[in-house]
Amino acid sequence: MLRTQTPRRGLLWTTTAIATVCLSVLAILSACSSDAAPRAAAAEPTVVIIGDSLSTGHGTSPSDAWPNLVENDPAFQQFQATIVNAAQDGSGYVSVGEDGSTFGSQVDAAVTDSTRLVVFFGSENDMGAAPGETEVAAARAFASVKTRAPHADILVIGPPSYSSTPEPERLDIRDQDKAAAQQAGADFVDPIVLGWIMDDAANLIGPDGDHPSAAGQQYLQAKMEALIEPLIHGPQPQ
């Protein structure tokens, strides 16, 4: 008696075809699932301010200080940045200010691995330090930033002058700040060369002749925003 038998070759082909279709469907579903998965949101940039009484609102109030004005400016808020103001009166790279603060100790206290930008501003308080001491201390502070926040940008702004003929000691501190910044690969901005405040010191500096008035803090806000925004607008440095 003859038996009807399904050809094995045909059965093998059919099984292989079904398996191929199933694998294709699984691959498509997997790809769709991957595309649909929510992507991690970019971290909000943190900007740390290292400075002296020019950045604390001394002579006006903390709410009038330029870092606070920047953070609360609606135009700046589009960047969703958090500003951490670590500045302390009397501080400098060498000069010890309130609560034993120096620019280096401010870095240690405020800069973390999530910091996007560190802004150093000043300081005339280092005038009178031993020759070369400010450059060494500045280099140490910049190195500390790189250790704590390897991907952060560093913006160094030298001490301003309210006169077009600044004292030699002020220029020396400016030069030491600049040398340390350049050695560290940091951006350096020179308020003296740029003429910050000089042309309107009577309005921008308060009655003590040293600290910004409310108008002066607003002036610094505009200057600082113009410097900070391009550094936090682009992608995080790698």
38 pLDDT more than 50:
no
Distance CA 162, CA 145 (A): 30
115 pLDDT more than 90:
yes
Average pLDDT score over residue span 89-101: 97
Q: How confident is the model at residue 43 (pLDDT cuts 50, 70, 90)?
A: low
Distance CA 75, CA 53 (A): 25
pLDDT tens for each residue of 99-113? 999 999 999 999 999
CA distances from 37 to 26, 34, 91 (A): 16, 5, 48
187 forms bridges with which residues in the sheet?
Answer: 155
Distance CA 170, CA 163 (A): 11
Pairing of strands 115-121, 46-51: parallel
For residue 60, how many other CB atoms are within 10 A of its CB?
17
Which residue in the block uniquely carries the two structure tokens 């008035």? 213
Q: What angle do CA 176, 178, 180 make, to 5 degrees?
A: 70
Tell me the two tokens of residue 132: 């070369």
Q: Are 197 and 92 in contact (CB under 8 A)?
A: no
Q: Cα-flanking dihedrals φ and ψ of residue 117, to 5°?
A: -145, 135
Tell me the two tokens of residue 13: 């082909």
Distance CA 13, CA 135 (A): 78
Tell me the two tokens of residue 67: 């870092």
The full DSSP string for 112-155 is -TTEEEEEEE--GGGTTPPTTHHHHHHHHHHHHHHHH-TT-EEE
Q: Which residues contact 20 (CB under 8 A, 6 or more apart)?
A: none
20 vs 88 pLDDT, higher one: 88
Give the pLDDT confidence score for residue 235 in this predicted structure: 58
Distance CA 148, CA 79 (A): 23
Give the pLDDT confidence score for residue 7 in this predicted structure: 44
pLDDT tens for each residue of 47-79? 999 999 999 999 999 999 999 999 999 999 999
Angle between helices 103-110 and 133-148 (to 10 degrees): 10
pLDDT tens for each residue of 161-210? 999 999 999 999 999 999 999 999 999 999 999 999 999 999 999 999 99
Distance CA 225, CA 155 (A): 12
Start-to-end C-alpha separation, the chain: 79
The full DSSP string for 218-238 is HHHHHHHHHHHHHHHHSPPP-
